Structure 1
C-alpha cells in the first residue's frame, strides 16, 4: 500500500487534512497555464478537483494496476456515468442477469430511454453463458458489463473467453465490488474498466457512500468530462473517510478470508444447509474459474437452508451476533434473508429467475470471530427447528 499523504496538502501531516474549499487561486497566469497543461498538480474549482479526491484516486489506481481512477458519489453513479459516456444511441450492452438489482434496473428500465439496447445473459451455467454470448454479441455491442463475483451467488465469468470473443471497439467493464482489488485484478485479464461500490469493502466502516472507476488515462479523461458536466462528485469528507478505509484494506481482507473460510466450511457440512455459495469451496459451481481468476474469496457467504420460507425467517431472526440489514463488507457482521430484504420489490417469478429463493441467506462476517458466528448459528438452528415461532408465522399471514 503506498504511503498516505497528498502533496497538495502543503503540510507534513501524516493524514491529509480535509479540504472543504471549492475555490483555488493561482499566483499568476503562467501558473494557471501550467495547471491546464498538467505541468503542475494543483486545484482549480471544487467540481473539477480536490486534494482529498486526488489522493484516493491515486491509491485506487495503484491497487487496480491501472493508469488512473476517478471517484464518484456512489457505485451506481460510477456505473451510470461510465455507461452514458461510452455507449451511444443505437448501440448495445450485454450484461449479466444475476447482477445487482439496481444495476439490472439501470439496464432494464433507464438506458432504453437513451436508445441503448441491453441484453441480459445468465452466467450460472458457464457453457450456456458462452452459447448465449456468441449468439447475442455483434458489432453493435459497445460494452459488456460483468459483475464478478456476482452477489450473492458469487458466480464468475471466463474473462479470457469474453476478451477473445469481442472486437477492439467493445469495452469490457468489470464490477468487482465483492472481490476488491485484493482478490481480483480484472485489468490483468482483459478488462478495460473496473467499477467499485466503495461503500462496501473499500471504505469498510459502513459510514461512506462512494464509487470508483479505474482504467486508462485516455478513457478516464472522457469519463472525467462527464463527471465535470453532471456534477457527479463526492464530498471531501467522503474521500477522507475512504482513504482511511484503504489504509487497512489488506489487513481487513485477510481477516475476512480467514473467518469466511471457517464459516463456509461449517455451513457446508451442516445438515440444515442445502448449498453454500463461497468460491473458495471446491463444490462451488464456479470454483475452477475462481482458481483461475481470484486471489482470495472474502467474507461474504450465501447459503440456502433446508427449510420453509417461515423457518428461514425464524432462523435469521434468532441470530444474535450479526445486524440484520443489506450492507456487506464493513466491520459489523450483517445478515439478510435475500428475498425479504434486497430483492423484496421483485415479483416471485423474477426472483426465481435470478436464483433468489426464500431459503437464501447472505452473511457478511464482519470482524466477528468464526467461533462466535458459528456458536450463534448453532443456537439459531436449535431454536428454529425445535420450537416453531408462532409470532413470525402469523406475520407472514
Structure 2
C-alpha cells in the first residue's frame, strides 16, 4: 500500500532536517555555540573544505538554524534553503549572488520600499542595468535579462505577478520571487517556474511579532551561493530566533487559513460601507486580478487596504478609532 504523502500543515509540524541531537528530541534544541570541536585535525580539514558536512563556526552553519532551513526548503518544495537575519538580508543575498556588472535586472514598478532602495542605491552602483516594468503585463517582460525579480503579491498596492507567464519569458535568466505576502502555505513560486524564492520570515512564517528573519529557497547550487554571500557579509541568523521561527512555523497553515477567512469578512464589510471608496483585497470578486489570484494562490491571505472618503483627515480618524 502506497504511503500517503504528508500535507503542508503536517510537514510544518513534523518536518525535521536534523535528527542527530542526543536522545533524538522531537524539538530541535537551541545550540548557541559559536565554535565546534573535532576529534582530529583530519576531520576538521574535511569539514573546513566541505568534503564532509559538519559544523565549524556559527556563521557558516549552526544546527538550530540548519534544521529551520531544512524545514523551510521542505515547505517551499525546494532542494535547499538558507535562513538569514532579516528579510532584506535574504533578498540582498538572492540578488547580489546572481548579478554582476553589465547584467540587466527586471523589476516591477510597484516594489517594496526597502527593496527599491536596495536596487537604486546598491545594485545600480554595481553597473547593473535596472528596468522597471508593470508586473501585471507579462508581455513587457519578454526581453533578455540576467534576473527577473517580482513579488507574488506586491507591497504596496497588491498587483499580482503572473509567475508562470513571467517565468516563460526568462530564457537562460533567473526568476527570483519575494513570496512574503503569500507564504508557502498559499503559493509555492518554485512550482510556477521561479528559480529562487525569498521570504521575510518576520511576517507570516513566524507570525508572533518576536522574530526578525529571512529565508531563501531554491536549487542547491543557487542557495549555496547565497550561503557564501551570507557568510561573507554577516547576515547570519542567531540560533534563538531560529528556534522561535521554527516553532512559529508549526501553526503556519492554521494561521493562514484564519487570516484569509477574517480578511475576506473585513473586506466584504468595508466594500459595502458608504464611507469607503475602494477596497484592495485579492479575495474579492471586484479585485482586477481575481481569477489569477484563484489560479495561483490557495487562498487570499490577511493583507488588505481601503480608501476612505474625506481625504487624509478622515483616514487618520479611522486609524485613531481602531
TM-score for both structures, normalised by structure 1: 0.74
> Greater CA deviation, 247-256 or 155-164?
155-164
Correspondence for 2:4 = none
Q: Matches of residues 209-358 of structure 1 in structure 2 within 5 Å?
A: 209-319=212-322
Q: Unmatched 5+ residue regions in structure 1?
A: 320-397
The Cα shift of 1:122 comes to 2.6
SS of 2:224 mapped into structure 1: helix
> Greater CA deviation, 159-168 or 143-152?
159-168
Correspondence for 2:58 = 46
SS of 1:242 mapped into structure 2: helix
Q: Does 1:202 align with 2:210?
A: no
For 1:175 and 1:83, the matched residues in 2 are separated by 11
Q: Does 1:133 align with 2:145?
A: no
TM-score for both structures, normalised by structure 2: 0.91
The Cα shift of 1:69 comes to 0.3
Q: Matches of residues 52-63 of structure 1 in structure 2 within 5 Å?
A: 52-63=64-75
Does the 8 Å CA contact 2:152/2:163 hold for their aligned counterparts? no
Correspondence for 1:326 = none
SS of 1:181 mapped into structure 2: coil
Q: Matches of residues 186-197 of structure 1 in structure 2 within 5 Å?
A: 186-197=189-200
For 1:13 and 1:220, the matched residues in 2 are separated by 28
CA offsets per residue over residues 370-393 of structure 1, 9 Å max, x none?
xxxxxxxxxxxxxxxxxxxxxxxx
Choose the corresponding residue for 1:19, options 27, 31, 48: 31
Does the 8 Å CA contact 1:4/1:15 hold for their aligned counterparts? no
For 1:78 and 1:250, the matched residues in 2 are separated by 22
SS of 1:183 mapped into structure 2: coil
Runs of 4+ in structure 1 over 4 Å off: 36-41
Choose the corresponding residue for 2:86, options 41, 51, 74: 74
The Cα shift of 1:36 comes to 5.6
Does the 8 Å CA contact 1:97/1:104 hold for their aligned counterparts? no
Correspondence for 1:336 = none
CA offsets per residue over residues 26-70 of structure 1, 9 Å max, x none?
222454455467676531111100011111000000000000000
Greater RCO (Cα-Cα under 8 Å, separation 6 or more): 2
For 1:200 and 1:172, the matched residues in 2 are separated by 22
Q: Matches of residues 93-112 of structure 1 in structure 2 within 5 Å?
A: 93-112=105-124
> Greater CA deviation, 47-56 or 146-155?
146-155
Correspondence for 1:87 = 99
- Name which one, 1 or 2, has greater alpha-carbon Rg: 1
The Cα shift of 1:258 comes to 1.5
CA offsets per residue over residues 308-341 of structure 1, 9 Å max, x none?
111111111111xxxxxxxxxxxxxxxxxxxxxx
Correspondence for 2:128 = 116
> Greater CA deviation, 156-165 or 174-183?
156-165
For 1:11 and 1:32, the matched residues in 2 are separated by 25
Aligned length: 310
For 1:298 and 1:115, the matched residues in 2 are separated by 37
CA offsets per residue over residues 210-247 of structure 1, 9 Å max, x none?
11100000111122121222222011111111111111
For 1:111 and 1:39, the matched residues in 2 are separated by 33
Correspondence for 1:146 = 150
